Amino acid sequence: MSKKRNTTLKELSKELSLSISTISRALNDHPDISLATKEKVKKLAKQMNYVPNLFARGFRSRETHILGVIVPNISHLFTSTIIKGIIEEAELRGYRVIISESNNDDTKQTEMLNTMTQFGVDGVLMSLARKTKDVEEVLKVLNRIPIVLFDKVSSKIPCTQVVINEEEAAFNAVEHLIELGKKRIAIIKETENSYNSEKRFAGYLRALNQYKIPVRNKLILSTEDISLGNGRRLANILISMKKRPDAIFAITDNAAIGAIKALHKFKIKIPDEIAVVGFSNSINSTIISPALTTVDQPGDKIGRTAVRFLIQEIESQPNEVHTKTVEIKTSLIVRDSSLKA
């Protein structure tokens, strides 16, 4: 059985005894081509199921109207809201999107970046892999096409970066716990090499310092994979302490939900004995009982904003350098996990 393949311009050209350039211009409604020729070409193209090769066209025109998107994990709830915003905004502006995930592997991230430039994408939107240390490969691509970073970014890459004010958001979350009268506030965070985690940790420390609450190293717990399971595991450590914390600030909703599950197991009253605050406002934050107090990150807005800036750079003058940080506002959604009845 022969392998199916797309009809080519060359085959249309041969069938109609017209040049390939005439066929191409007819399909693209070029004003130099007569209406009769256009109709004849389009009719045959339809009969032969011709589909234009966007990549080939892009290589000729140096524009594909395709954006590349690289994220650490497509299935992450917050990431999926960003991707939805990216796709919708790109389509509104006449661009298509190719999405890939790095699985938090910087080698795969480089591979994806190079593959996308080979496909001829006009620009790349990227959230960096957690373990990104060497940014040389990203800088090489940045010299050829525009890149806009979002969510997980790096000060070593001189490009537009769309972020939330991680430190301020964490400060507000911890300040809320302090205002409830909590004084032994634990944090569940990621190990080093995470831009987001370090910024949120800085906000936690600033809130404690500002309110003159001592920083207790025993209440600072880290894990590489900030998952529900690890949130539960680290909360178990906190619960088993002689002097338990009276609040837990987890830098992701998943870890916070894991903590709530651990507290339930030991029949600890939330928020009276231990209050819990998360970060992200994922759909799971309203499903868990008690509903989780959390920082709302507007993923849709982050995605749309990143697309707008990237297209602006694609359509601006070549060799123009863009190095700005765009901050998207967050808000603290207070729910039952920190709200006294």
- pLDDT for 198 equals 92
Categorize the per-residue pLDDT at 30 as very low, low, confident or very high, splitting at 50, 70 and 90.
confident
Least confident segment among 43-52, 141-150, 156-165, 315-324: 315-324
pLDDT for residue 203 is more than 80: yes
- pLDDT for 103 equals 92
Q: pLDDT tens for residues 224-246?
A: 888 999 999 999 999 999 999 99
pLDDT for residue 65 is more than 80: yes
pLDDT for residue 61 is more than 60: no
Tell me whether strands 275-280 and 247-250 are parallel, antiparallel or unpaired.
parallel
* Cβ atoms of 205 and 215 closer than 8 Å: yes
Region 2-21 average pLDDT: 77
Region 300-325 average pLDDT: 88
Region 298-313 average pLDDT: 96
Cα four-point dihedral sign 227, 231, 237, 240: negative
Other C-beta atoms closer than 10 Å to the C-beta of 130 total 21
- pLDDT for 53 equals 61
pLDDT for residue 153 is more than 70: yes
pLDDT over 90, % of the chain: 68
Q: pLDDT tens for residues 160-170?
A: 999 999 999 99
Categorize the per-residue pLDDT at 3 as very low, low, confident or very high, splitting at 50, 70 and 90.
very low
Which residues touch 332 (CB under 8 Å, ≥6 apart)? 169, 172, 173, 176, 293, 294, 295, 296
C-alpha 242 chain-centroid distance: 40
pTM for the model stands at 0.79
pLDDT for residue 341 is more than 90: no
- Concatenating the DSSP letter of every residue in 40-66 gives HHHHHHHHTT----HHHHHHHHT---E
Element (H, E) at 129: none
pLDDT over 70, % of the chain: 93
If one compares 98 and 77, the residue with the highest pLDDT of the two is 98
- pLDDT for 316 equals 84
Rounded to a whole number of angstroms, the distance between the first and last alpha carbons of the chain is 71
Nearest to 320 by CA among 160, 122, 175: 160
* Cβ atoms of 132 and 70 closer than 8 Å: no
Cα four-point dihedral sign 330, 135, 68, 104: negative
* Cβ atoms of 253 and 263 closer than 8 Å: no
- pLDDT for 62 equals 56
pLDDT for residue 252 is more than 80: yes
pLDDT for residue 318 is more than 80: no
